[in-house]
A and B are shown apart, each in its own frame.
Chain A
């Protein structure tokens, strides 16, 4: 057409519009998220190598970095320890969050709920590292909490918690609680109260009503919360360093150390392998989890 400008072309073509709208974001993610992931995967499988300054494809797959990673004596221990931390944190946050969510959903009026959510959220606006740092004052044996408990006679002598597994777990539960609480609250709050009233009317005792009606209906929230806690908890990196000391060596620290401590291509390949193992462990655990727990899932 005569005088057909570029703008006119855009106006008419739906696919061109879509490309212009979606293109920038998708290309950005392709280059800076998906490509790095694929390259790391290839690197960890030995498919990329370097000769002086140029990278080339080797067209062969080797597991040597993974073998090296797993034969390192610290690796298996770190994986077991990470699973231990993440599982205890998930169970701990669930045990604390469920009664909280239940109380909020069933015993509070609408205004109170808004206030409660506000109050619960407030501490989580503070930088994560500062919150973990603050826990040091609480856990420290010379700190005000322990000394206070001693002076009122509730504690006979200071307990050295800082630098132990308990310190890591307490701090992790503290930090992850909100990720369990919010999805459970979201689901429990939407449970139709009529089901519960119906159960009561038909003569079911409170405990039975809870076990047969409320708990099964909260399942999607519990599943979402567990995943939101377990997946990041498994790779936690900051908390073990800040309150756990050298013994609290987790997958997150393993990824970092493999990447930082070993120089050059070996370090990058080992770091990549560690990261891929973490992703693999997440996939396997989520798969097993869904096998046992069920499939319904609602994210917040």
Chain B
């Protein structure tokens, strides 16, 4: 191995290690019993117990899950229809259409969030969980479209044609052939849109009604004042564990 190769190897693995360092330290301190929070004095599960007994955490977690679930359903519906239309019928001006649908993905989130809230105020829409969902769909539907369209493009039309030749009409073909064929792509899009919505902070922060917290907003409220809160470390540890599990399962699914 040449000098350059060895240097590259060291650089690569050092950076990867460094990206894990903060997370490892955060996890370690979730078991810290010290009151000073930054000096590790002893092992405890207290932080976990106080977290599990914290009703606000559970409430914001449930809020995150159900809003994200609705967002995924609506975004998939809109995304599937649009992607199917563009791939199947290739309408005139699809390039323009593509760029239009893509704009929400490119525009910085904070701009989208502020303009949407101002619009909602002007038209007299009260902020509610619905406004969070609307804000998320405005980003997630284009995201779903992007993923689905990329996957649909390569796919084989022959199955559909065969079904139609054998006498199935277009709507039957769509539900019996096209949708099952689309399923892997739909699952991929569902996964991505869910993660985005579940993790989103900025848009939720702007479009939420006061008192309605999702998990990221709850975490923000706890840590934004510059404090270190060890039950947040405990929460992070659980989230890390779930994320790792999720990624692992997804890897397995993708392989199949």
Contacts and interface: CB of A to CB of B under 8 A. Distances in A.
Contacts of A33: 103-104, 112, 116, 138
Contacts of A174: 18-19, 22
Nearest to B232: A133
Interface stretch (B6-14, B42-50, B52-60, B151-159): B6-14
Main secondary structure of the interface of A (DSSP, over half): helix
A134 B236 contact: yes
B168 interface: no
A248 to B, nearest CB: 12
Contact of A275 (B21, B106, B111): B111
Given A40-B119, A235-B110, A241-B224, A123 B19 contact: yes
B11 A28 contact: no
Contact of B114 (A123, A177, A275): A275
A188 B201 CA distance: 33
Given A99-B11, A128-B201, A133 B26 contact: yes
A125 B195 contact: yes
A137 B26 contact: yes
Q: Chain A, interface size: which category?
A: 35 or more
A237 B247 contact: no
Q: Chain B, interface size: which category?
A: 35 or more
Interface in A128-156: 128-131, 133-138, 140, 142-145, 147
A256 B110 contact: yes
Contact of B236 (A99, A126, A144, A145): A126
B247 A121 contact: yes
Contacts of A52: none
A255 interface: yes
B62 to A, nearest CB: 16
Interface stretch (A19-27, A73-81, A217-225): A19-27
A256 to B, nearest CB: 7
30 contacts: A18-B89, A22-B97, A25-B78, A25-B79, A25-B101, A32-B138, A36-B119, A36-B120, A37-B115, A48-B122, A99-B8, A100-B11, A100-B12, A102-B8, A103-B11, A116-B16, A118-B251, A123-B20, A127-B239, A134-B22, A144-B25, A145-B21, A145-B25, A242-B224, A256-B114, A268-B118, A268-B122, A274-B114, A278-B108, A279-B108
Interface of A: 7, 11, 14, 17-18, 20-22, 24-26, 28-29, 32-37, 39-40, 43, 48, 55, 96, 99-100, 102-104, 107, 116, 118-123, 125-131, 133-138, 140, 142-145, 147, 174, 177, 206, 231-232, 234-235, 237-238, 241-242, 245, 252, 255-256, 259, 268, 271-272, 274-275, 278-279, 282
Given A24-B77, A242-B223, A274-B114, 15 more contacts: A18-B89, A21-B82, A22-B82, A28-B78, A28-B141, A32-B119, A36-B120, A37-B115, A118-B251, A127-B215, A137-B29, A177-B19, A241-B224, A275-B115, A282-B108
